[in-house]
């Protein structure tokens, strides 16, 4: 994650043009969702997250709950969200998004991505809705983290916004 935040800081300082465009594409491919994070969280929050990620690199591995207790939840939440978003992108590229949530789970089954997702399509639909879309990854992460979608988004982006609640979102999982 420290590398991601260093890359985002570099992007902030690049002049517009082909080199910046290429760097933006590379960052988005490596860490899906990072450009949205950078845009909404802003450079100051991203710098704080970079510092937290660097501190985490030099410390012993610790449970995710301790990151939250230390005020560094976004670092580990993004570390979990980037692969989920990448899985969705790979599935869409390979299948044109065919099969909805069950198709996504069939696609990841037997791959290194399988442990990130539930085995039961009904659970994924209950948590993330009947459409396999980016929002499903956020909802699945929120459920795993024990957060509501609004609370997750506040952690990820550092502010509330229209992305918190949308028509068609499944009800929060109790």
pLDDT at 172: 66
Decide if pLDDT at 170 tops 80: no
**pLDDT score at 160:** 80
Report pLDDT for 165.
64
Residue 114 Cα distances to 7, 9, 39, 104, 141, angstroms:
28, 32, 30, 10, 14
Whether 168 has a pLDDT exceeding 90, the answer reads no
26-85 residue pLDDT tens: 999 999 999 999 999 999 999 999 999 999 988 888 888 889 889 999 999 999 999 999
Q: What percent of the chain has pLDDT over 70?
A: 93
pLDDT band at 164 (very low <50, low <70, confident <90, very high): low
pLDDT of residue 132 exceeding 70:
yes
């Amino acid at each position: 994650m420290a590398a991601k935040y260093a890359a985002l800081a570099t992007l902030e300082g690049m002049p517009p043009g082909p080199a910046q465009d290429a760097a933006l594409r590379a960052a988005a491919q490596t860490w899906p969702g990072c450009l949205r994070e950078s845009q909404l969280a802003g450079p100051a929050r991203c710098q704080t997250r970079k510092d937290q990620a660097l501190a985490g690199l030099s410390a012993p591995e610790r449970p995710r709950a301790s990151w939250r207790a230390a005020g560094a939840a976004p670092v580990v939440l993004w570390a979990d969200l980037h692969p989920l978003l990448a899985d969705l992108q790979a599935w869409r590229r390979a299948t044109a998004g065919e099969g909805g949530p069950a198709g996504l789970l069939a696609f990841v089954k037997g791959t290194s991505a399988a442990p990130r997702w539930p085995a039961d399509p009904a659970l994924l639909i209950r948590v993330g809705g009947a459409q396999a879309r980016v929002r499903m990854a956020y909802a699945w992460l929120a459920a795993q983290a024990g957060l509501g979608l609004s609370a997750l988004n506040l952690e990820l982006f550092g502010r509330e916004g229209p992305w918190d609640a949308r028509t068609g979102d499944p009800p929060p999982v109790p």
